[in-house]
């Protein structure tokens, strides 16, 4: 039985992928960045947008105090003042 067939039966795809990607030489690491900067930026923005929507939904539903929502928004995003003004959360 070949190693690949054995690995396919014994390990999940993620484990095999992790094993193969961690067995690199120093020159491979130079060629393989951890992610394109633009992609990382887009991922951060999408996650931030989703989290802002959750906080706003809780504030509108009344399950979170407005002051707490304002505090969290200010920690979460640099454009918090615009969002707070737009959503009329400031008291």
Q: Are residues 49 and 84 in the same domain?
A: yes
Q: Are residues 48 and 73 in the same domain?
A: yes
Q: Are residues 5 and 25 in the same domain?
A: yes
Q: Are residues 20 and 1 in the same domain?
A: yes
Taking the C-alpha atoms of residue 22 and residue 18, their distance in angstroms, rounded to an integer, is: 6
Indicate left, alpha or beta for 27 from its phi (over 0: left) and psi (-120 to 50: alpha).
Answer: alpha
Taking only the tens place, the pLDDT of each residue in 37-78 is 898 899 999 999 999 999 999 999 999 999 999 999 999 999
Q: Are residues 20 and 59 in the same domain?
A: no
Query: Which sign, positive or negative, has the C-alpha torsion 36, 42, 45, 51?
Result: negative
pTM for the predicted model, two decimal places: 0.59
Residue reference for tokens 């193969």: 20
């Amino acid at each position: 039985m070949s190693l690949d067939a054995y690995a396919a039966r014994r390990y999940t795809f993620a484990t095999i992928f992790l094993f193969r990607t961690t067995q690199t030489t120093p020159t491979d690491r130079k060629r393989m960045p951890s992610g394109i900067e633009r992609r990382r930026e887009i991922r951060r923005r999408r996650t931030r947008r989703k989290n802002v929507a959750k906080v706003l939904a809780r504030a509108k539903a009344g399950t979170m105090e407005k002051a707490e929502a304002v505090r969290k928004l200010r920690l979460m995003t640099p454009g918090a003042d615009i969002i707070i003004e737009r959503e009329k959360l400031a008291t």
